[in-house]
């Protein structure tokens, strides 16, 4: 799997390779030890098939800023230093909303 990841990273960093014709990409792939099915998916620019073959999916992260108190009059409230929110509880809450 690292061979295909290295190739995709190289393709992302190399503008000539990224915008190369299918034939040029095929020539570049020929020198790599990449599974033929993955080669075909790369040449077809089939992102979903590449993700499936690598057993990876899209990753999504949502960040929400904390709301400020509307009646904030400049006074500081109690400290929230000891308060922690676990990633699991945030994900669970987001999943239950969706």
Q: pLDDT, tens digit, for every residue of 50-79?
A: 999 998 877 788 888 887 765 555 555 555
Q: Locate 57 and state its tokens.
A: 């999916």
Q: What is the pLDDT of residue 71?
A: 57
pTM higher than the cut 0.75: no
pLDDT score, position 66: 82
List Cα–Cα distances, 6 to 24, 29, 83, 84, in angstroms: 17, 11, 41, 38
């Amino acid at each position: 799997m690292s061979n295909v990841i290295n190739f995709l990273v190289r393709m992302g960093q190399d503008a000539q390779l990224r915008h190369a014709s299918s034939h040029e990409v095929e020539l570049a792939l020929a020198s790599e030890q990449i599974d033929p099915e993955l080669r075909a998916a790369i040449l077809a620019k089939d992102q979903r098939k590449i993700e499936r073959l690598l057993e990876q999916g899209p990753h999504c992260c949502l960040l929400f800023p904390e709301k400020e108190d509307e009646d904030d009059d400049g006074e500081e409230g109690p400290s929230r230093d000891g308060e922690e929110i676990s990633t699991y509880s945030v994900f669970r809450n987001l999943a239950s909303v969706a």
